[in-house]
Every structure is written in structure tokens, then in C-alpha cells.
Amino acid sequence: MTSAAWLRERDARAVLLALLAILVGIAVTPSARLPILAVLLIVIAVAGHVSVGPVLRRSAMVLPFALFLALAAIPARGWEMAAVLAGRAWISALYVVVAVESATAPRLFSALARLGCPQPLVTVLQFVYRFVSVLAGVASNIRAAALARGVQRAGRRRMFGVAAGTIAVLFARALGRATRIHQAMVARGYRGQIPSPMRERMRVADGLLIIGAVALVLTIRTQ
């Protein structure tokens, strides 16, 4: 078995718990030892055959706000500390992206339920994830239709009203879609819980992943 397959076959609960351990490690590790966690991330990404480009692109989404906060912290904490704050935010985001790439979002959400997260929240999460691109497409279509009717030539006040009307229509379509989705789900045997995409079982390797992450963080923290 390749290292990439090994990482992808891990139970999503183990991935989540190992991720949490590493994130806590990033938060509590002295700044001088942060590069160790960055190097470990590179090793995991290479071993897991994770595409570097998308990971960097997605993790960079944390940077605008993190850099703003870091810049604002310069007068009180100095340049060096500000750089450490932004660095911690970015390394944390990189680990989250690699974990989501390895385990996939639906598996991670199912893992949340199996770790004790309330079922209504997990169901809502799964629906949000499933329909965010669908409704984004609907919003895009409504916007294209408004532009085709020359709405961009309207004044700012009118544009405000158009935006409100667009959101109201989007709301109506979301409600209509939710009703149809529920009817289809009931017809397919939905009883209030979405089944997990695959049946997962904690194995020895999953335990080792969690223990390894915790041990690594403790070693870096205490040395």
C-alpha cells in the first residue's frame, strides 16, 4: 500500500483528532519550534500525494484577514510577533486543507456525528455542503438575468432594491428546493439521518495516527 493510500484510508475520526492535536500544538508551541511543524506538514503532503497548488491556494484564503490582524498587532507586539501570529494562522490553515483533502468533507462531517456532535447540526452541515454550489449557481443565474435586463445602469438606490429582491427570490427558490429534496429523500427512505458514505472502523493504524500526532506535539512542546 502506498503512503497516499494509507493516509486516505484512515478513519475520518482519527484524522480529525490528529488534526486537533496538531492545531493545539501549533497554538502552544514556542515560535522558534514552529518550523518543525511546517516541515512535518510538507512530509505529510508529499507522502499523501496531495496537490501542492490547490492546497497553497486554498490555505492562502486565511491570509488577508490574518495579515490585517497581524499588522494591527505590530504597535503592541512588534514585527516579529506579528509575523509569528500570521505564520501560525497560515500553518494551521495548511493542516486543515491537507486533512480535508485526505479525508474529504462528507467523511469528516460523518465523523463529527460519530464523535458526539449533535445529529441536527451534522445533518444541516451535510445539506449546506451538498447545496452550497447548487444555490451559488442559482444566485449566479439570477444575477446574469438581472444584468441582461440592464440593472447595472440603475442608480445606487435602485441597485440596493434589486439586490434585496434577488436575495428574496433566492430564498424562495431555496425553500422550494428544500421541499422537493425532502419529498425525494422520504421516498428513498429518509428517517431523519443521512447515512455515512462508507462504514468506517477504527483500526490499529488509526490509533497510531492519533498517538503519533499527540506524541509529536508533546515532544516539540516539552523539549
Applying the rule CB under 8 A, the residues between 153 and 212 that interact with other proteins are: 156, 159-172, 174-175, 177-179, 181-182, 185-186, 192
Contacts for 130 with CB less than 8 Å, ≥ 6 apart: none
Minimum Å gap between C-beta 169 and other proteins is: 8
Question: What residues numbered 103-122 form the site for other proteins, per CB under 8 A?
Answer: 105, 108, 118-121
Name the residue nearer to other proteins (CB basis): 43 or 124: 124
Angle between helices 12-28 and 204-222 (to 10 degrees): 0
Q: Residue 56, CB half-sphere, CA atoms under 13 Å: how many?
A: 4
Q: Which of 87, 106, 114, 208 binds other proteins (CB under 8 A)?
A: 87
Q: Is 130 in the site for other proteins (CB under 8 A)?
A: yes
Q: Residue 100, CB half-sphere, CA atoms under 13 Å: how many?
A: 14
Question: What residues numbered 2-61 form the site for other proteins, per CB under 8 A?
Answer: 19-20, 23-24, 26-28, 58-59, 61
As separate numbers, helices (DSSP H) first and strands (DSSP E) second, the chain gives 9, 0
Count of residues engaged in binding other proteins, rule: CB under 8 A: 79
Name the residue nearer to other proteins (CB basis): 5 or 128: 128
Name the residue nearer to other proteins (CB basis): 30 or 203: 30
Contacts for 22 with CB less than 8 Å, ≥ 6 apart: 37, 95, 213, 216, 217
